[in-house]
Structure 1
Amino acid sequence: MNYRIKKASLEDLEATAELFNQYRIFYRQESDLARGKAFIRERMLNSESDIFLVFVDGKAVGFVQLYKLFHYTKLQKQWLLSDLFVHPDYRGRGLSVALIDRSKQWCEETGACGLMLETEKTNDIGNQLYPRCGFEYDGAHNYYHWWK
């Protein structure tokens, strides 16, 4: 299958926002295309994340969104692979792996030490995909959240 991956820009906002909305629905969030679009637009305008889109036959069918972090022991930049989504009609064709590979390439291009991610324990697809792509499960740490 032929596909193309490109770094998203404001000209890709509509397609990115639609995929982001579908991604949020996958994680049991209410559909809110307008707020999601505003969120993505703000990330782009403020250079707060880097998004790569995968296109099949000229149509955006998936994306990965990366946020910059810094690793305290390696004393280097790293990327948080925050969001990864491929439209259900295009799954099983290696597009998620291609987006992960592009993210790894982005680490090389930006001098980052690597990628980190978290996913729900119930995400069976992701929990099989990430080890296949060279990610190591970190069972030694607890992750906590504080929400206001």
Structure 2
Amino acid sequence: MDYKIKKANLEHVNEVAELFDHYRVFYRQASDYEKCRAFIRERLRNNQSHIFLVYAGDKAVGFVQLYELYHYIKLEKQWLLSDLFVHPDHRSKGLSVALIDRSKQWCEETGACGLMLETEKTNDIGNSLYPRCGFAYDGLHNYYHWWN
């Protein structure tokens, strides 16, 4: 599949907010585009998160959002892969893997030791995807880590 990935900035707020709203609905939250838009705008404006959008043609169809953390054992920066979403119409095309690969590349670009994430035990898609992408399951929680 032909796709491109772009790092989001304030010009992309509407695209990210629309996908972020769908993502929250997936996690059983009420749709609230305006609140999502304000949340994403604030994160980007204050450089509090880094978001990558994946495009199929001219349309943003997925995103990943990363937050900076510090790992107490490695004593280094790491990134929390907080949110990953691909619109249902564009799943099973490798876009989630592409977004994860871009997140790993971001670790290299920023000198981070790796990525960590948490997902619900009921998220069958994520719980199958993350180990395939090199994340290790910790057994007690659905926390996954990938180290650079």
TMscore range, shorter length: over 0.9
2:78 counterpart residue number: 78
1:55-76 Cα offsets, whole Å, 9 max, x none, are 0111000000000000011010
User: Is structure 2 residue 80 aligned with structure 1 residue 90?
Assistant: no
Aligned-pair CA distance for 1:139: 1.9
CA distance in 2, matches of 1:46, 1:104: 23
TM-score normalised by L of structure 2 = 0.94
TM-score normalised by L of structure 1 = 0.94
1:65 counterpart residue number: 65
**For residues 1-148 of structure 1, what are the structure 2 equivalents within 5 Å?**
1-140=1-140
1:73-117 Cα offsets, whole Å, 9 max, x none, are 101000000000000000000000000000000000000000000
Taking only aligned residues, the RMSD between alpha carbons, in angstroms, comes to 1.2
CA distance in 2, matches of 1:141, 1:26: 20
4+ long deviations beyond 6 Å: none
CA distance in 2, matches of 1:141, 1:6: 31
Alignment length, in residue pairs? 143
Unaligned 5+ runs, structure 1:
144-148
CA distance in 2, matches of 1:121, 1:76: 28
Aligned-pair CA distance for 1:141: 6.1
Unaligned 5+ runs, structure 2:
144-148
**Compared CA separation, residues 92 and 79, structure 1 to 2 (3 A):** same
* Structure that is richer in strand per residue: 2
SS of residue in 2 equivalent to 1:117: strand
CA distance in 1, matches of 2:127, 2:43: 27
Aligned-pair CA distance for 1:140: 5.0
Q: Is residue 121–residue 142 contact of structure 2 (8 Å, CA) maintained in 1? A: no
Aligned-pair CA distance for 1:142: 9.0
1:146 counterpart residue number: none
**Compared CA separation, residues 88 and 141, structure 1 to 2 (3 A):** closer
CA distance in 2, matches of 1:87, 1:18: 10
